């Protein structure tokens, strides 16, 4: 057979191990969130006794385990309810892309097993929702993940938790809401009535520190990578080594502890031994993520990317340099994402800086950018902002790490003069800009040439 760049096996990843580093994997336990989960459990407890759960709000920045904790605890409650034959229904609903109470109510009808009433007037939709809840009956826990997508259209957040008190639903129906959001401002801006009815309890997920992230990564690594095991220690200083057999009974840590015949709660994770990860890899991924936002999602991403880079280089070990490369790559991806989401004016300002860089201009000042900006805006028939307003867009590009703005010493009294430079390759910026349909007719090479020509003739005039 001819040699192929592909292979059915990996020297780095365990068979099926890569899945444990992907977004879709939900852990069954989150020891770093023990406190938060205990609080959530307290809110859910009445539900296990056949009443309603407390309405609860989980908040905290992105990647802090809010979704994972809610899913893990809900599934714990579900299995208890099943074992006790409780009349309990849980709905996990992601509000991504749902920006109105109307669409949310329609979606919930469907989730509760009723027809989607889309197209009917709001009141009818709500009536259908109450009817659907009556049909289901018993305790109904609705988790609304990324609830801030609703924006200011929060009518349903007022009426849903009160459905029982207001007698929209029957006496035997106990609805409650678990709201999850990483937008703390959104909650503060809620209508006071909605705020009151929504939150009996509020649980905040503080950012993970480097130690938390190291533990999270270690557990993932023990499943994802070949020859990787965890070291645990109890209060008496006894150490045990735990390796997870993905092909074994359940492939979970709990199962591995059961197999070892020890109580998991008595042991703390103290380290990881790995044939494929060099010693600095996990601490470095954790440190990078902790320095930034403390996001577990980000930390896991660094580890996944670092391993993929090592593998693509044909290495059998993941080293520190692969983590550095992964971090750089992830940062560039983030910048590109930021560029894609800019407004038209943001794109114009970026395009102008890019043209100047392509032309080899250094020490780019606001008025240089403004000249190119004006002709670009003209070219694509967009509104032309005043120079000062355009500069605000440049400053925003700096905050998004897309360009770097430096205050220059030569500023006029009272005002700041800036020079600007791209933080990415001009080709990366052009790739993003060319995908914006308004820029279809823009030829960046031609623009650059024109600008250079103009500069040349200006210089002649002044000489
Ligand atoms: N304590 C933990 N143990 C294991 N994995 C975790 C832990 N916390 C978070 N994760 C993992 O990190 C990733 C991000 O977590 P999650 O999606 O729960 O974050 P979130 O707080 O809901 O973020 P967002 O606000 O962006 O939705 C997921 O892959 C999740 O499984
Ligand atoms: Mg989430």
Instruction: Answer yes or no: do 61 and 169 share one domain.
Output: yes
Q: What is the mean pLDDT of residues 85-91?
A: 94
Q: What is the mean pLDDT of residues 361-378?
A: 92
Q: What is the mean pLDDT of residues 444-461?
A: 76
What does 403-446 look like in DSSP terms, one character per residue?
EEEEEETTPPTTS-EEEEEESS-HHHHHHHHHTSGGGTT--HHH
The last residue of a domain, from among 151, 176, 205:
205
Please give the tally of structural domains in the chain.
3
Its domain, for residue 358, covers 342-457
Q: Is the pLDDT of residue 458 over 70?
A: no
Instruction: Answer yes or no: do 35 and 166 share one domain.
Output: yes
Atom 3 (ligand 1): residue with closest C-alpha?
A: 30
Q: Is 447 among the domain residues?
A: yes
Determine whether the shortest distance from the Cβ of 18 to ligand 1 is under 6 A: no
Instruction: Answer yes or no: do 349 and 297 share one domain.
Output: no
Q: Is 157 among the domain residues?
A: yes
Q: What is the mean pLDDT of residues 117-129?
A: 95
Instruction: Answer yes or no: do 199 and 295 share one domain.
Output: no
Lowest mean per-residue pLDDT among 103-112, 155-164, 391-400: 155-164
* CATH at 355: 1.10.10.10
Q: Which atom of ligand 1 is nearest to the CA of 33?
A: 1
Instruction: Answer yes or no: do 31 and 162 share one domain.
Output: yes
Instruction: Answer yes or no: do 300 and 357 share one domain.
Output: no
**Whole-prediction pTM:** 0.83
Q: Is the pLDDT of residue 183 over 60?
A: yes
Instruction: Answer yes or no: do 236 and 216 share one domain.
Output: yes
The last residue of a domain, from among 205, 239, 270:
205
Q: Is 201 among the domain residues?
A: yes
Other C-beta atoms within 10 Å of 145: how many? 19
Burial category of 445 from C-beta neighbours within 10 Å (exposed 0-12, middle 13-18, buried 19 and up)? exposed
31/337 Cα distance (integer angstroms) = 32
Instruction: Answer yes or no: do 309 and 365 share one domain.
Output: no
Instruction: Answer yes or no: do 41 and 129 share one domain.
Output: yes
* CATH at 318: 1.10.8.60
| Distance between Cα 26 and ligand 1 center (Å) | 8
Q: Is the pLDDT of residue 107 over 80?
A: yes
Q: Is 463 among the domain residues?
A: no
Burial state string for 32-56 with b = 16 or more CB within 10 A and e = fewer than 16: bbeebbebbeebbeebbeeebbbbb
State residue 324's pLDDT score. 97
Rounded to 10 degrees, what is the CA torsion of 219, 222, 225, 228?
A: 140
Q: Is 284 among the domain residues?
A: yes
57/146 Cα distance (integer angstroms) = 11
* CATH at 32: 3.40.50.300
Q: Are strands 267-274 and 228-234 parallel, antiparallel or unpaired?
A: antiparallel
Q: Is 7 among the domain residues?
A: no
The candidate with the shortest Cα–Cα distance to 310, out of 283, 286, 288, 278, is 278
54/44 Cα distance (integer angstroms) = 6
Determine whether the shortest distance from the Cβ of 72 to ligand 1 is under 6 A: no
Q: Is 16 among the domain residues?
A: no
The last residue of a domain, from among 307, 334, 361:
334
409 pLDDT band, cuts 50/70/90, is low
176/199 Cα distance (integer angstroms) = 10
Determine whether the shortest distance from the Cβ of 95 to ligand 1 is under 6 A: no
In degrees and rounded to multiples of 5, residue 333 shows phi and psi of -60, -40
Instruction: Answer yes or no: do 320 and 447 share one domain.
Output: no
* Residue from 27, 205, 286 to probe ligand 1 pocket by mutation (most atoms less than 8 Å from CB): 27
Other C-beta atoms within 10 Å of 87: how many? 14
Instruction: Answer yes or no: do 53 and 159 share one domain.
Output: yes
Instruction: Answer yes or no: do 317 and 381 share one domain.
Output: no
Q: Is the pLDDT of residue 203 over 90?
A: yes
290/292 Cα distance (integer angstroms) = 5
158/38 Cα distance (integer angstroms) = 26
- Identify which has the larger pLDDT, 314 or 191: 314
Listed in sequence order, the residues at least 6 apart from 307 whose beta carbon sits closer than 8 Å to its beta carbon are: 12, 13, 21, 224, 225, 318, 322
335, 402 contact by CB (below 8 A):
yes
Q: Is 13 among the domain residues?
A: no
Is the dihedral angle over the CA atoms 39, 41, 44, 50 positive or is it negative?
negative
Sole residue written with tokens 């709000």: 57
């Amino acid at each position: 057979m001819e040699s192929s760049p592909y292979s059915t096996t990996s020297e780095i990843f365990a068979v099926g191990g890569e899945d444990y580093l992907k977004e879709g994997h939900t852990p069954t336990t989150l020891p770093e969130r023990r406190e938060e989960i205990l609080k959530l459990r307290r809110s859910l407890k009445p539900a296990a006794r056949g009443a309603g759960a407390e309405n609860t709000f989980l908040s905290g920045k992105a990647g802090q385990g809010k979704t994972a904790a809610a899913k893990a605890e809900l599934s714990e409650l579900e299995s208890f309810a099943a074992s006790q034959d409780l009349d309990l229904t849980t709905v996990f609903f992601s509000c991504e892309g749902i920006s109105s109470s109307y669409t949310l109510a329609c979606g919930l009808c469907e989730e509760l097993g009723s027809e989607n009433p889309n197209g009917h007037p709001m009141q009818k939709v709500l009536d259908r929702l109450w009817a659907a809840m009556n049909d289901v009956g018993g305790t109904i826990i609705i988790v609304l993940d990324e609830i801030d997508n609703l924006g200011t259209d929060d009518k349903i957040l007022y009426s849903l938790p009160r459905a029982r008190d207001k007698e929209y639903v029957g006496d035997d129906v106990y609805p409650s809401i678990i709201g999850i959001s990483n937008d703390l401002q959104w909650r503060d801006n809620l209508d006071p009535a909605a705020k009151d009815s929504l939150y009996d309890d509020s649980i905040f997920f503080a950012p993970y520190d480097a130690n938390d992230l190291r533990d999270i990564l270690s557990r993932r690594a023990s499943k994802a990578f070949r020859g990787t095991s965890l070291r645990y220690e109890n209060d008496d200083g006894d150490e045990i080594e735990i390796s997870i057999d993905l092909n074994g009974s359940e492939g979970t840590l709990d199962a591995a502890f059961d197999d070892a015949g020890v109580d998991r709660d008595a042991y703390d994770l103290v380290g990881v031994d790995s044939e494929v990860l060099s010693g600095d890899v996990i601490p470095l991924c954790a440190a990078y993520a902790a320095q930034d936002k403390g996001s577990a999602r980000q930390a896991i991403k660094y580890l996944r990317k670092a391993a993929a880079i090592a593998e693509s280089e044909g290495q059998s070990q993941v080293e520190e340099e692969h983590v550095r490369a992964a971090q750089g790559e992830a940062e560039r991806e983030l910048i590109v994402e930021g560029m894609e989401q800019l407004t038209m004016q943001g794109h114009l300002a970026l395009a102008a800086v890019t043209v100047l860089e392509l032309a080899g201009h250094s020490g780019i000042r606001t008025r240089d950018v403004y000249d190119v900006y004006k002709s670009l805006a003209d070219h694509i028939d967009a509104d032309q902002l005043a120079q000062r307003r355009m500069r605000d867009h440049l400053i925003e590009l700096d905050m998004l790490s897309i360009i770097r703005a430096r205050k220059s010493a030569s500023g006029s009294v009272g005002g700041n003069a800036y020079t600007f430079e791209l933080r990415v390759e001009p080709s990366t910026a052009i790739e993003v800009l060319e995908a914006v349909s308004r820029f279809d007719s823009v030829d960046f090479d031609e623009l650059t040439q024109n600008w250079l020509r103009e500069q040349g003739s200006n210089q002649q005039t002044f000489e």
